[in-house]
Amino acid sequence: MKTRQGFVSNSSSSSFILALPKHLKSVEDVKSVLFPQKYYPDDIVYDFYEPEQYTVDEVAQCIFNALSCKDKDAIGEFAGVPGSIYDVVSGMMGKSPAFDDINDVKAIDEYYEKIQDVESTISNVVCDQFVKLHPNCYFYVGEFADDTHMESTIEHGRIFDNVPHIKISNH
């Protein structure tokens, strides 16, 4: 059975898969794709939680540093399954053996392995459809956490709403 060891924090992170119309070679490319002038006329991005603000250049640099381009066939490995799907799949599986006997490690492990198999199948279907919907795009992946104000703004601030994307909550 898997148990968490060490420090546990209350921070969150989200992984993103982006379908972009061009290959990102520079921060300027990130700005042109994610920050169209009509949405950011003053070149300012406002913090999601705090009364702070960042320039579009600062946020674009952070995003550029965090993203990596992936082959279309590899994004399914990255995607995992959005957190809400876990609730659906575990509900489909029925009562967890942990409720019957918390010491039956084998039964608990088998239960969670079945959940992971179903989640993997769903994830692959979602990613396959995402690629099919955007056949001429470049696919990028990145992860942003709310342990800094800027990354929190990127994670929660709807920065990627201008482009097709999948958000996977890693809370």
| Residue 55: C-alpha distances to residues 19, 30, 59, 85, 161 (Å) | 24, 13, 7, 35, 18
Whether 149 has a pLDDT exceeding 80, the answer reads: yes
Residue 2 is predicted with a pLDDT of 44
Which residue has 């990354």 as its token pair? 151
Backbone angles phi, psi at 68, to 5 degrees: -135, 140
Residue closest to 138 by CA, chosen among 24, 50, 59: 24
pLDDT digits (tens, 9 = 90+) for 42-61: 788 877 677 888 989 999 99
What pTM value is reported for the model? Answer: 0.76
pLDDT band at 7 (very low <50, low <70, confident <90, very high): very low
How far is residue 44's CA from residue 54's CA, in Å, rounded to a whole number?
Answer: 6
